[in-house]
């Protein structure tokens, strides 16, 4: 899960553990006292947290203060991940985030309405709908009630001026869709509106859908949409059998009650001016649904390989142990004043990766050494949200996120968007506290791999860390900037 590295307001001195050693006379006491008191928040992921010793700017004294909870693995405020954990440490788990599932004993794809359970993901032999007439007989596939359900694909990334792909919905109305062909009493429409809003609102616009096919337990209707403006939108279908007096609204779950979290989504880019690299050419080169600066494998605009974390440039990819600014176009020090060792970023001991890190050619390192201040000045402006200056990034697929090291593709060549969940291929890391731009979806900030459609429901607009400008494409950014994960990021400028 996410490890949000926040900015510490006070000058906190982390002076090592305040618990006593098992040895004698080898523990340096803290200026605040021998033992740190427990922090205020102790529930959930904050369990066991202690206060930290901080120097008081006013008088130079020391005092115990609350820790920076944002550094706790899995901490979220507000909580937005449905993961079985108390992420905001308030004593409640996944409040308001659970989905309802229904048992499907006969495995016909229809759930028993009398067996509702709430969870983050579907238990075995459970489905999201409650439409089964008889859950003991798989031959009875017709629903007892009207229903409709969005069919894949339910999220599309399209440039302004082009039409979406074909959008499909399954519709069943007893006595109406059970006949052959297009039912004359049935009207099906596609609607598009602002994200996380209900389709009954007047901000939604509707257009006719057309009959496509008779299926065993539903009729298939389809439509396409051509956007008139750039932005982020949700879509749904609706149908009526009484001439528009009443409607049923259709999401991905297919229940009788519409859920905005289960709507379909469009990310519509403004007009794009193609650049010279794959991460600037206005194309989805690897067919993963992400274009240029929205693709998590395009961490910087000069990347010429949209299908991998490797940039396609040998001079970028040859770093092994000593790392410099990942965004400067080469892997050597000298033009950015940045230097750290890969072992200072990895969560696991370097000895776990003897071959990948070429430990037979070991470079000594000191992780406690501060960065040269000019490193932050030169590299941080070119660092996208969710990353640090050395290539440790919070990469997400949907809402599942991991902090992984992508800044040494020569070491971990098999690390990609498809393997990011595997710590053996994509090693876990911690963003450098002195030179990083952490992302926090709870604050409506995007991490690499996310679009505004993946943010929590309270996020009707995207924000950016610090004073960065939000964007949908590079055409909305100032000169010498590119749109990376919804924020305008400055091109790397070599110091003179």
Would you state the pLDDT for residue 316? Answer: 58
Asked if residue 179 has pLDDT above 80, the reply is no
Sketch the domain layout of the chain as residue ranges.
1-92, 98-145, 147-269, 276-496
Section 22-36 average pLDDT: 61
Residues contacting residue 351 through CB under 8 Å, at least 6 positions apart: 359
Considering only residues 322 and 393, tell me which one the structure prediction assigns the higher pLDDT. 393
Residue 74: pLDDT band (50, 70, 90) is: confident
How far is the C-alpha of 258 from the C-alpha of 238, rounded, in Å? 10
Highest mean pLDDT among 44-53, 94-103, 196-205: 196-205
Q: 21 exposed, middle or buried (CB, 10 Å; 0-12, 13-18, 19+)? A: exposed
Q: Are strands 400-405 and 392-397 parallel, antiparallel or unpaired?
A: antiparallel
Among the ranges given (24-38, 70-84, 88-102, 249-263), the one the predictor scored with the smallest mean pLDDT: 24-38
For 261-330, give the secondary structure using H, E and C.
HHCEEEEEECCCCCCCCHHHCCCCCCCCCCCHHHCCCCCCCCCCCCCCCCCCCHHHHCCCCEECCCCCCC
Kindly report the average pLDDT of the chain as a whole number. Answer: 83
Chain length of the chain = 496
Could you read off the pLDDT of 433-474 as tens digits, one per residue?
899 999 988 899 999 988 888 888 888 889 998 889 999 988
Considering only residues 35 and 411, tell me which one the structure prediction assigns the higher pLDDT. 35
- In sign, the C-alpha dihedral spanning 249, 252, 258, 259 is negative
**CATH fit for domain 147-269, picks 2.30.30.190, 2.60.40.650, 3.20.20.140, 3.40.220.10:** 2.60.40.650
Asked if residue 13 has pLDDT above 70, the reply is no
DSSP 3-state of 401: strand
Would you state the pLDDT for residue 444? Answer: 92
Asked if residue 404 has pLDDT above 60, the reply is yes
**Is 0.75 topped by the overall pTM?**
no
Could you read off the pLDDT of 306-360 as tens digits, one per residue?
887 776 666 655 567 888 888 887 665 556 688 888 889 999 888 888 877 777 6
Would you state the pLDDT for residue 331? Answer: 61
Among the ranges given (175-179, 225-229, 373-377, 397-401), the one the predictor scored with the smallest mean pLDDT: 175-179
């Amino acid at each position: 899960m996410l490890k949000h590295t926040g900015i510490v307001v006070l000058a906190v001195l982390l002076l090592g553990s305040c618990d006593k050693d098992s040895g004698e006379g080898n523990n340096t006491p803290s200026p605040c006292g021998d033992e740190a008191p427990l922090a205020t928040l102790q529930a959930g992921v904050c369990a066991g947290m202690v206060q930290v010793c901080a120097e008081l700017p006013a008088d130079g004294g020391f005092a115990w203060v609350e820790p920076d909870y944002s550094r706790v693995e899995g901490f979220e405020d507000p909580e937005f991940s449905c993961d079985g954990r108390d992420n905001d440490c308030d004593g409640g788990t996944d409040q308001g985030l659970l989905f309802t599932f229904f048992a499907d004993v006969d495995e016909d794809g229809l759930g028993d309405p009398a067996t509702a359970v709430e969870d983050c993901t579907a238990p075995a032999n459970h489905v999201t709908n409650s439409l089964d007439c008889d859950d003991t007989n798989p031959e009875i596939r017709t629903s007892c009630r009207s229903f409709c359900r969005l069919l894949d694909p339910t999220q599309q990334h399209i440039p302004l001026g082009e039409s979406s792909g074909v959008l499909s919905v399954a519709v069943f109305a007893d006595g109406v869709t059970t006949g052959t062909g297009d039912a004359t009493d049935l009207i099906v429409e596609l609607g598009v509106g602002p994200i996380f809003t209900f389709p009954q609102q007047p901000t939604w616009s509707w257009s006719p859908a057309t009959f496509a096919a008779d299926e065993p337990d539903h009729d298939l209707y389809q439509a396409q949409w051509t956007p008139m403006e750039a932005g982020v939108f949700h879509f749904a279908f609706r149908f009526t059998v009484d001439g528009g007096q009443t409607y049923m609204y259709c999401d991905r779950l297919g229940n009788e009650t519409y859920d905005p979290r289960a709507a379909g989504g469009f990310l519509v880019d403004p007009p794009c001016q193609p650049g010279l690299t794959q991460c600037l050419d206005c194309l989805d080169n690897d067919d993963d649904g992400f274009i240029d600066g929205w693709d998590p494998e395009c961490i910087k605009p000069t990347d010429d390989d949209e299908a991998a974390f490797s940039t396609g440039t040998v001079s970028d990819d040859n770093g092994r142990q000593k790392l410099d600014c990942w965004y400067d176009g080469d892997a050597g020090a000298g033009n950015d004043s940045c230097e750290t060792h890969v072992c200072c970023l990895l969560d696991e001991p370097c000895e776990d990766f003897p071959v990948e890190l070429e430990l037979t050619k070991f470079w000594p390192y000191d992780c406690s050494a501060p960065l040269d201040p000019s490193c932050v000045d030169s590299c941080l402006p070119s660092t996208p949200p969710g990353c640090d200056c050395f290539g440790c990034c919070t990469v997400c697929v949907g809402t599942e996120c991991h902090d992984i090291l992508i800044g040494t593709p020569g070491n971990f060549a098999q690390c990609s968007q498809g393997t990011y969940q595997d710590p053996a291929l994509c090693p876990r890391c911690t963003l450098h506290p002195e030179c990083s731009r952490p992302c926090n979806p709870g604050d409506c900030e995007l991490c690499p791999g996310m679009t505004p459609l993946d943010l929590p429901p309270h996020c009707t607009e995207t924000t950016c860390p610090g004073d960065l400008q939000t964007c949908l494409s590079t055409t909305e950014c100032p000169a010498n900037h590119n749109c990376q994960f919804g924020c305008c990021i400055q091109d790397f400028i070599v110091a003179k």
